[in-house]
C-alpha cells in the first residue's frame, strides 16, 4: 500500500507516468468515468480549503466513486480531543482512500503510519503540499512541454508557503533548473530548504527582494500569498501583506512566454487586471488539479483502464 506524504514519495519516472495519465484523462474524460465505481474517498480537512478539498471530491466523482468527509476541525470529534492517529484508524474502516489537511507539520507522517488505506497529504501546516506540487508540475509540463532547463521565480511568503517548499523539493530533480527566490528578508525560504535541498543538489539560485529585478529572466513566475494564518503577530502580517503586487506594468517586463502560476487563494499579490493576460495560468492550474488528483487516486488504488 502506498501513501503520498511528500513529492519525493514518487520517483521522477513515476511522476512522469502520473502526468501522462492526467493528460490522457484531460483528453478522454469518458474513458475514466467508471474506474472507481464502488470506491469511497474520505476528505478530512482540519484547516480551510476550497480548491484542494473540492478538486479531490470532483476527481473522485468524475471517476465514478463517492465521497464523504469533514470540512473543519469543529465539525469532527477532533473538537472533543480525538487524535489524528485515532481518526485515521476510524476513517480506514469507512473508505478506500483518504486525503487529509491538518495545521500541524508532521501530522501527515503520523496519519500515514496509522492508515489502513492509501493516505494523501493535502497540506500539513507550513511543511508540504504534495498534490499542489503535482498540479504545478502538470501545469508547467502542459504549458512548456518539459520540466527541464528553466528559470523559476518563486515570489512572496517563501518561509511559510508549503507549496513553495514542495515545489522546490520536486523541481531540483530535473536538469537545468534555476531558481530566483523573491521575498521580504523576513520571509526567506527556511535554512533547511536552502542547505538540505538547494545546496545539496548544487542548484543555481539567488535571493532577491525586488520582483522587478527578476522579471526579464523568468520562464515561470510562481506567486504566493503572505500566509496570514501562520503569523504570530497581526501587525507583522499587515506590514508584509502588500509587499508584492503583480500588475500589468510589471508584466511588461516579462518575456512573452513567461507564465504566471499561483496555487491560490489570491489576496492582493496579483492584480485582477493581470487575469486577462494570456500568460496568466493560475485558473487553468486549478483545473489541472482535478486531472492530476484523478490520476493520483487511480495510481494509489492501483486501478487502470484498457
Ligand atoms: N491551493 C490550495 O491549496 O488551495 P485551498 O487552500 O483552497 O485548498
> Does the pLDDT value for residue 230 go beyond 80?
no
What is the pLDDT confidence band of residue 42, given thresholds at 50, 70 and 90? very high
Across residues 210-227, what is the average pLDDT? 96
Whole-number pLDDT of residue 237: 81
Nearest residue by C-alpha to atom 1 in ligand 1: 263
Query: Which domains does the chain show, CATH number per domain?
Result: 7-128+289-300 (3.40.50.1370), 131-286 (3.40.50.1370)
Pair 3, 112: CB distance under 8 Å:
yes
Whole-number pLDDT of residue 246: 98
- The Cα 20–Cα 296 span in angstroms is 11
Query: Considering the chain, what percentage of its residues have pLDDT values greater than 70?
Result: 100
Q: Is 228 exposed, middle or buried (0-12, 13-18, 19+ CB in 10 A)?
A: middle
Task: For ligand 1, say whether the CB of 49 is within 6 Å of any of its atoms.
Answer: yes
What is the pLDDT confidence band of residue 225, given thresholds at 50, 70 and 90? very high
119-164: per-residue pLDDT in tens?
999 999 888 999 999 999 999 999 999 999 999 999 999 999 889 9
Whole-number pLDDT of residue 205: 98
125 CA distance to ligand 1 middle (Å): 12
> Does the pLDDT value for residue 227 go beyond 90?
no
Across residues 216-238, what is the average pLDDT? 89
Task: For ligand 1, say whether the CB of 130 is within 6 Å of any of its atoms.
Answer: no
257-273: per-residue pLDDT in tens?
999 999 999 999 999 99
60-89: per-residue pLDDT in tens?
999 999 999 999 999 889 999 999 999 999
Q: Which of 51, 55, 223, 230 for a ligand 1 pocket mutation test, highest count of atoms within 8 Å of Cβ?
A: 51
Q: Which three cell numbers stand for residue 115?
A: 492508515
Note the pTM of the prediction, 2 decimals.
0.95
Whole-number pLDDT of residue 235: 86
Task: For ligand 1, say whether the CB of 299 is within 6 Å of any of its atoms.
Answer: no
The residues carrying an active-site annotation are: 51-52, 80, 101, 129
Pair 64, 35: CB distance under 8 Å:
yes
Task: For ligand 1, say whether the CB of 264 is within 6 Å of any of its atoms.
Answer: yes
Q: How many CB atoms lie within 10 A of CB 41?
A: 27
Across residues 179-203, what is the average pLDDT? 96
CA 126 to chain centre: 12
Whole-number pLDDT of residue 271: 98
51 CA distance to ligand 1 middle (Å): 5
What is the pLDDT confidence band of residue 3, given thresholds at 50, 70 and 90? very high
Task: For ligand 1, say whether the CB of 225 is within 6 Å of any of its atoms.
Answer: no
306 CA distance to ligand 1 middle (Å): 33
Average predicted confidence (pLDDT) for the chain: 96
Distances 278 to 139, 272, 273, 275 between C-alpha atoms, Å = 14, 13, 12, 8
- The Cα 49–Cα 122 span in angstroms is 10
| Nearest atom (ligand 1) to Cα of 286 | 1
Whole-number pLDDT of residue 188: 95
> Does the pLDDT value for residue 223 go beyond 80?
yes
Whole-number pLDDT of residue 71: 93
Amino acid at each position: 500500500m502506498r501513501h503520498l506524504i511528500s513529492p519525493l514519495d514518487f520517483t521522477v519516472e513515476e511522476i512522469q507516468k502520473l502526468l501522462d495519465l492526467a493528460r490522457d484523462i484531460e483528453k478522454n474524460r469518458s474513458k475514466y468515468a467508471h474506474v472507481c465505481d464502488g470506491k469511497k474517498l474520505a476528505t478530512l480537512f482540519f484547516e480551510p480549503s476550497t480548491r484542494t478539498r473540492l478538486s479531490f471530491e470532483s476527481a473522485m466523482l468524475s471517476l465514478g466513486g463517492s465521497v464523504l468527509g469533514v470540512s473543519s476541525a469543529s465539525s469532527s470529534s477532533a473538537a472533543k480531543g480525538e487524535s489524528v492517529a485515532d481518526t485515521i484508524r476510524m476513517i480506514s474502516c469507512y473508505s478506500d482512500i483518504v486525503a487529509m489537511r491538518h495545521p500541524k507539520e508532521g501530522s501527515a507522517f503520523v496519519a500515514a503510519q496509522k492508515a489502513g488505506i492509501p493516505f494523501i497529504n493535502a497540506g500539513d501546516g507550513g511543511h508540504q503540499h504534495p498534490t499542489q506540487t503535482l498540479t504545478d508540475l502538470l501545469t508547467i509540463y502542459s504549458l512548456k512541454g518539459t520540466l527541464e532547463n528553466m528559470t523559476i521565480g518563486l515570489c512572496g511568503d517563501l518561509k511559510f508557503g508549503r507549496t513553495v517548499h514542495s515545489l522546490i523539493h520536486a523541481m531540483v530533480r530535473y536538469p537545468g533548473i534555476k531558481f530566483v527566490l523573491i521575498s521580504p528578508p523576513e520571509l526567506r525560504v527556511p535554512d533547511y530548504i536552502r542547505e538540505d535541498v538547494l545546496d545539496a543538489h548544487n542548484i543555481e539560485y539567488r535571493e532577491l527582494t525586488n520582483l522587478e529585478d527578476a522579471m526579464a529572466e523568468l520562464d515561470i513566475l510562481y506567486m504566493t500569498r503572505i500566509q496570514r494564518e501562520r503569523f504570530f503577530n497581526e501587525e507583522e502580517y499587515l506590514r508584509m501583506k502588500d509587499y508584492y503586487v503583480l500588475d500589468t506594468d510589471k508584466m511588461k517586463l516579462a518575456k512573452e512566454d513567461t507564465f504566471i502560476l499561483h496555487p491560490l487563494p489570491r489576496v492582493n499579490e496579483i492584480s485582477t487586471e493581470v487575469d486577462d493576460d494570456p500568460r496568466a495560468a493560475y485558473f487553468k492550474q486549478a483545473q489541472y488539479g482535478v486531472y492530476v488528483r484523478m490520476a493520483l487516486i487511480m495510481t494509489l488504488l492501483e486501478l487502470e483502464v484498457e
